[in-house]
């Protein structure tokens, strides 16, 4: 940790200037967790709590490809699981460690068995209690009973059972607070299980409860909605949701998402899907979101670069961030697509204001070769995203605006022909049907 301190020393200096702007009360180091350097696993994991911490650590261990980081992640996962009661996950992690971390991190059967026995006992106890409550038909107790069951199963890693139990409390909810509690639990479970359709429906349900929605809950619900849109590849909607998350979120939802994530996901989705004016109004001028952006200064820089048309540096930042973003469980599948979309947007935006563009200069601006650039532009033109034509001989891109008048004439003539053809075919078919019908009628008589 100390060695990494020095490397990040320069960035800490900047952060201290901005530290006064935030009025967070936590004493966490203001180090950028998501940055271009190699991911600091410990600091990253410190952002999360609960099961998601373990899941993320395991994901990093799987995907990172560097044995030192992998072992670090596995070590932390082991420690984390030992604090909980999930023996199945424990065995999994031990299998992955495979003895590489020494005797302290081997399969502790004794601990596992003890936990399992305790779990059995607790389960029986809960079941008895629940049955008692059910016979007594006290709504509140039954609800709490099912909730406890849900918590129990969740702690032991049986997500499906936990989800079922949480959902069963629905019939016994009396106040809106109960409903919101149920919805939040269901959302958490659905995210863990990766079933994002449920997330959307429960977010909707929670938002519909008339009262009892304090700002923190609203922020949480928006994050969840954003996540489900992200998984559904609806980047524009995801961006909008993430950008609406208020600063009250703070560290209240660390069992799902950290504020750094909100900033990262929101910005990347916005860059990939918003047009220029929306980008300015919703991201750059958004005072609420600025709090989040402070946590990830590199992303803030790259958004500003994009807006001010410094595409080379923007794309450079993106390239640097890529390895670390690939280690994030929610973003992993979408990094490529988002990057492609951002790059296309940059190319399109570059060519928009010009009548003619010298491809050599453009290649310099994007730090790529002329032939590569030509190929990319050809793809964009074929998809009708840029209205231009390439002069391959002189390597110039000419903007081409469709002649409205000619286009209209062409369309008119074409529509006329089509109408003519369709109408004649229809009259012919009608005649055939009439003939057929007459034949049948004649046969009947």
Partner 1 sequence: MNLSMSSVESLVAQIHGLSSNIGELTQLRNYLKQCDDLLRTESTRLAPLLTELDPSVHSLGYLYILEACTSAPISKDQANKLVLSVARFINVCAAEQIRLAPEKFISICKRLMLQVMLLEDPMRGVAPLLTSIRKLQSSTEQLTTLHPDFMLLCLLSKCYKIGLSVLEDDIFEVDLPRDLFLYCYYGGMICIGQKQFRKALELLHNVVTAPMPIISAIAVEAYKKYILVSLIHLGQFATSFPKYTSSAAQRNLKNFSQSYLELVNSYSTGKVSEVEKCVEIYKDTFGSDNNLGLVKQVVSSMYKRNIQRLTQTYLTLSLQDIANTVQLNSPKEAEMHVLQMIQEGDIYATINQKDGMVRFLEDPEQYKTCEMIERLDFSIQRIMRLSKKLTTMNEVMSCDPSYLGKVGKERQRFDYDDFYTVPSKFTI
* Distance (Å, whole) CA 368 – CA 128: 69
Beta carbons of 297 and 24 less than 8 angstroms apart:
no
In the block, tokens 């000619």 appear at 406
Among candidates 202, 115, 130, which has minimal Cα distance to 172?
Answer: 130
Residues contacting 348, CB < 8 A, separation 6+: 380, 385, 386
Q: What minimum distance in Å lies between the beta carbon of 431 and partner 1?
A: 6
Q: What minimum distance in Å lies between the beta carbon of 351 and partner 1?
A: 13
Beta carbons of 106 and 91 less than 8 angstroms apart:
no
Beta carbons of 187 and 224 less than 8 angstroms apart:
yes
* Distance (Å, whole) CA 268 – CA 279: 11
Kindly tell me which of 288 and 414 has the beta carbon lying closer to partner 1: 414
Kindly tell me which of 405 and 443 has the beta carbon lying closer to partner 1: 405
Q: Which span sits near partner 1 by CB under 8 A: 112-120, 269-277, 337-345, 421-429?
A: 421-429
Given 56, 427, 442, 445, the residue binding partner 1 (CB under 8 A): 427
Q: Which span sits near partner 1 by CB under 8 A: 212-220, 283-291, 342-350, 398-406?
A: 398-406
Kindly tell me which of 309 and 360 has the beta carbon lying closer to partner 1: 360
Q: How far is CA 178 from CA 140, 181, 225, in A?
A: 10, 5, 20
Q: Which span sits near partner 1 by CB under 8 A: 10-18, 107-115, 165-173, 417-425?
A: 417-425
233 binds partner 1 (CB under 8 A): no
Report helix, strand and coil shares of the chain as percent, to nearest 5: 75, 0, 25
What are 140-145's contacts with CB under 8 Å, separation 24+? 140/172, 140/174, 142/172, 143/169, 143/172, 143/173, 143/174, 143/178
Beta strands in 345-442 (DSSP E): 356-358, 388-391, 396-399
Q: What minimum distance in Å lies between the beta carbon of 341 and partner 1?
A: 21
Restricted to residues 18-77, the positions that interact with partner 1 (CB under 8 A) are none
406 binds partner 1 (CB under 8 A): yes
360 binds partner 1 (CB under 8 A): no
Kindly tell me which of 252 and 394 has the beta carbon lying closer to partner 1: 394
Beta carbons of 307 and 279 less than 8 angstroms apart:
yes
Restricted to residues 363-392, the positions that interact with partner 1 (CB under 8 A) are 378, 381-382, 389-392
Given 117, 233, 332, 429, the residue binding partner 1 (CB under 8 A): 429
Q: How many residues bind partner 1 (CB under 8 A)?
A: 36
Kindly tell me which of 369 and 394 has the beta carbon lying closer to partner 1: 394
Q: What minimum distance in Å lies between the beta carbon of 389 and partner 1?
A: 4
Kindly tell me which of 326 and 381 has the beta carbon lying closer to partner 1: 381
416 binds partner 1 (CB under 8 A): yes
Binding site for partner 1 (CB under 8 A): 378, 381-382, 389-394, 398, 403, 405-406, 409, 412-413, 416-417, 419-421, 423-433, 435-437, 441
């Amino acid at each position: 940790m100390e060695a990494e301190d020095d490397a990040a020393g320069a960035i800490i200096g900047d952060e201290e200037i901005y530290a006064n702007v935030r009025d967070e009360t936590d004493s966490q180091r203001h180090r950028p967790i998501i940055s271009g350097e190699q991911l600091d696993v410990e600091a990253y994991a410190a952002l999360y709590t609960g099961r998601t911490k373990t899941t993320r650590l395991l994901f990093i261990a799987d995907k990172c490809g560097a044995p030192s980081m992998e072992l670090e992640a596995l070590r932390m996962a082991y420690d984390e699981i030992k604090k909980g009661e999930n023996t199945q996950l424990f065995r999994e992690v031990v299998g992955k460690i495979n003895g590489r971390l020494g005797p302290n991190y081997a399969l502790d059967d004794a601990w596992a068995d003890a936990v399992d026995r305790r779990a059995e006992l607790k389960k029986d106890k809960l079941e008895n209690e629940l049955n008692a409550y059910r016979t007594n038909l006290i709504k509140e107790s039954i609800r709490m009973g099912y909730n406890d069951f849900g918590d129990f199963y969740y702690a032991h890693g049986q997500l499906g059972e936990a989800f079922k139990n949480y959902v069963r409390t629905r019939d016994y909810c009396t106040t809106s607070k109960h409903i919101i509690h149920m919805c939040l639990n269901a959302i958490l479970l659905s995210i863990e299980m990766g079933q994002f359709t449920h997330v959307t429906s429960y977010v909707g349900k929670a938002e519909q409860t008339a009262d009892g929605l304090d700002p923190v809950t609203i922020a949480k619900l928006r994050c969840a909605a954003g996540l489900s849109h992200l998984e559904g590849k609806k980047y524009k909607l995801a961006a909008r949701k993430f950008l609406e998350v208020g600063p009250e979120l703070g560290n209240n939802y660390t069992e799902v998402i950290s504020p750094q994530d909100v900033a990262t996901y929101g910005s990347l989705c916005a860059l990939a899907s918003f047009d220029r004016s929306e980008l300015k109004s919703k991201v750059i001028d958004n005072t609420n979101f600025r709090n989040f952006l402070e946590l990830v200064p590199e992303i803030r820089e790259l958004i500003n670069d994009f807006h001010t048309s410094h595409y080379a540096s923007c794309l450079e930042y993106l390239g640097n961030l890529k390895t670390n973003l690939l280690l994030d469980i929610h973003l992993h599948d979408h990094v490529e697509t988002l990057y492609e979309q951002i790059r296309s947007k940059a190319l399109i935006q570059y060519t928009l204001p010009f009548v003619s563009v010298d491809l050599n200069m453009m290649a310099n601006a994007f730090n790529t070769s002329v032939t590569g650039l030509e190929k990319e532009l050809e793809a964009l033109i074929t998809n009708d995203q840029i209205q231009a034509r390439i002069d391959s001989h002189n390597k110039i891109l000419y903007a081409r605006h469709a002649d409205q008048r000619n286009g209209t004439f062409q369309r008119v003539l074409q529509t006329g022909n089509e109408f003519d053809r369709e109408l004649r075919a229809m009259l012919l078919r009608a005649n055939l049907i009439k003939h057929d019908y007459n034949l049948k009628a004649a046969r009947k008589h």
